[in-house]
């Protein structure tokens, strides 16, 4: 099999998991469902065996590059690409493509978010292999997950004609649907969840950048031509903030010329909020997910998380999320998880930086 590089996108800022995630310690560094490894560590662990450490790149923010290197001590330090500013995923993939193509232009890049939950890792790895192979001849490949519920929180992919070997043409990408359309999608075999995992040869994706996002293409080519690592870093610092800020989905995949999808089921969850954390965590007979020392009286379907040495007592409450950290405590009904951002906004407005 051809050279495969993994590019892990770990640029999260961590608003939705406040107060556990902070500016200095966002979601990808946390253990949310698993107990002993962070989401980022789990993502890297799963691809070991498919991709050697020296071909795993992680793109993260400058602020988080130190912690990223600490969490992944096996990776060569220069494989952690530190973005000076957050410009969404298209610049981050262009930069990674420049890196990969400098080593091997027709190597396949598997681009993976740092933070999904994967329930069936064996099935997942098989699918990664299948998708990497499907990308070897030059197409842009994505993984579509067979929907198991009418989820309105994910984007969808409509699959088109079969191309053989489990690969299908992508008809179109579909934005997050309303509840009625999500109900139709889950019954219609053509519709798949967009996992945000992409596979393409470095040279081929750079061709798409040239066609669709020429400033990012110029940035990537220029980067590849820098004489040394330190000069290259100055090059990035000088230019990154000016690059077009757009997602790889919207900027490249949606209008690319040859986009394919491989489909599968592997217990995939986008851990998007404390609600998902509750869904994924082991629960007691009353539906409580308790990651803390606790005393529960007449309480059901709660998610409780606290540091070691802290006792959490709940009496007569249901469907609450309780996240306690050393200096901040969050309490809300599970269904309000999308509103955590309102607390973060409030703290930002009050300039209460120490809690952010």
Residue 279: Cβ within 10 Å count: 16
Q: What is the separation of C-alpha 254 from the centre of its chain, rounded to a whole number of angstroms?
A: 18
**Among 76, 74, 69, residue whose Cα is nearest residue 10:** 69
131 touches its own copies (CB under 8 A): no
Tell me how far, at minimum, the Cβ of 31 lies from its own copies, in Å.
20
327 touches its own copies (CB under 8 A): yes
Structural tokens at position 150? 């009418």
Residues 75 and 59 sit within 8 Å (Cβ to Cβ) = no
272 touches its own copies (CB under 8 A): no
- In three-state secondary structure terms, 82 is strand
Tell me how far, at minimum, the Cβ of 285 lies from its own copies, in Å.
16
180 touches its own copies (CB under 8 A): no
Residues 121 and 42 sit within 8 Å (Cβ to Cβ) = no
Tell me how far, at minimum, the Cβ of 303 lies from its own copies, in Å.
12
Tell me how far, at minimum, the Cβ of 264 lies from its own copies, in Å.
36
x-or-dash pattern for its own copies, window 86-125, by CB under 8 A?
----------------------------------------
Out of 24, 180, 231, 352, the only residue in the binding site for its own copies (CB under 8 A) is: 352
330 touches its own copies (CB under 8 A): yes
| Strand ranges inside 11-103, DSSP E | 56-61, 80-83
Q: Which of residues 282 and 309 has its CB atom nearest to its own copies in the complex?
A: 309
CA angle, 345 then 80 then 15, to 5°: 15
Handedness of CA 184, 189, 193, 198 (dihedral sign): negative
Q: Which of residues 9 and 296 has its CB atom nearest to its own copies in the complex?
A: 296
CA distance 144 to 173: 11
Out of 300, 316, 351, 353, the only residue in the binding site for its own copies (CB under 8 A) is: 316
> Which residues are near its own copies by CB under 8 A?
18-19, 295, 297-298, 306, 309-317, 320, 322, 324, 327-333, 335-336, 339-340, 342-343, 346-347, 350, 352, 355
């Amino acid at each position: 099999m051809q050279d495969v590089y993994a590019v892990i996108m770990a640029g999260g800022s961590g608003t939705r998991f406040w107060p556990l995630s902070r500016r200095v310690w966002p979601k990808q560094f946390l253990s949310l469902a698993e107990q002993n490894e962070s989401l980022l560590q789990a993502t890297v662990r799963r691809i070991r065996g498919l991709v050697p450490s020296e071909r795993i790149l992680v793109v993260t923010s400058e602020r988080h590059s130190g912690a990223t290197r600490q969490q992944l001590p096996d990776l060569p330090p220069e494989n952690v690409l530190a973005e000076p500013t957050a410009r969404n995923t298209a610049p981050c993939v262009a930069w990674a493509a420049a890196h990969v193509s400098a080593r091997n232009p027709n190597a396949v890049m598997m681009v993976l978010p740092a933070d999904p939950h994967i329930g069936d890792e064996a099935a997942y790895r098989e699918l990664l292999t299948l998708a990497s192979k499907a990308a070897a001849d030059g197409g842009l490949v994505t993984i579509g997950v067979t929907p198991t519920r009418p989820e309105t929180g994910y984007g969808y992919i409509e699959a088109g004609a079969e191309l053989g070997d489990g690969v299908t043409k992508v008809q179109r990408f579909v934005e997050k649907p309303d509840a009625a359309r999500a109900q139709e999608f889950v019954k219609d075999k053509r519709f798949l969840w967009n996992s945000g995992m992409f596979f393409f040869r470095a040279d081929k994706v750079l061709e798409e950048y040239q066609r669709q996002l020429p400033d990012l293409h110029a940035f990537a080519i220029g980067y590849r031509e820098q004489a040394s690592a330190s000069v290259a870093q100055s090059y990035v610092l000088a230019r990154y903030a000016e690059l077009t800020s757009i997602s790889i989905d919207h900027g490249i995949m949606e209008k690319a010329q040859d986009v394919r999808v491989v489909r599968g089921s592997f217990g995939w969850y986008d851990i998007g909020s404390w609600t998902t954390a509750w869904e994924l965590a082991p629960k007691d007979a009353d539906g409580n997910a308790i990651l803390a020392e606790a005393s529960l009286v007449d309480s059901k379907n709660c998610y409780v998380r606290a540091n070691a040495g802290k006792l959490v007592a709940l009496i007569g409450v249901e469907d609450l999320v309780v996240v306690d950290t050393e200096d901040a405590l969050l309490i809300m009904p599970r269904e309000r998880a999308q509103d955590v951002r309102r607390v973060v906004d409030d703290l930002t407005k009050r300039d209460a930086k120490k809690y952010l």
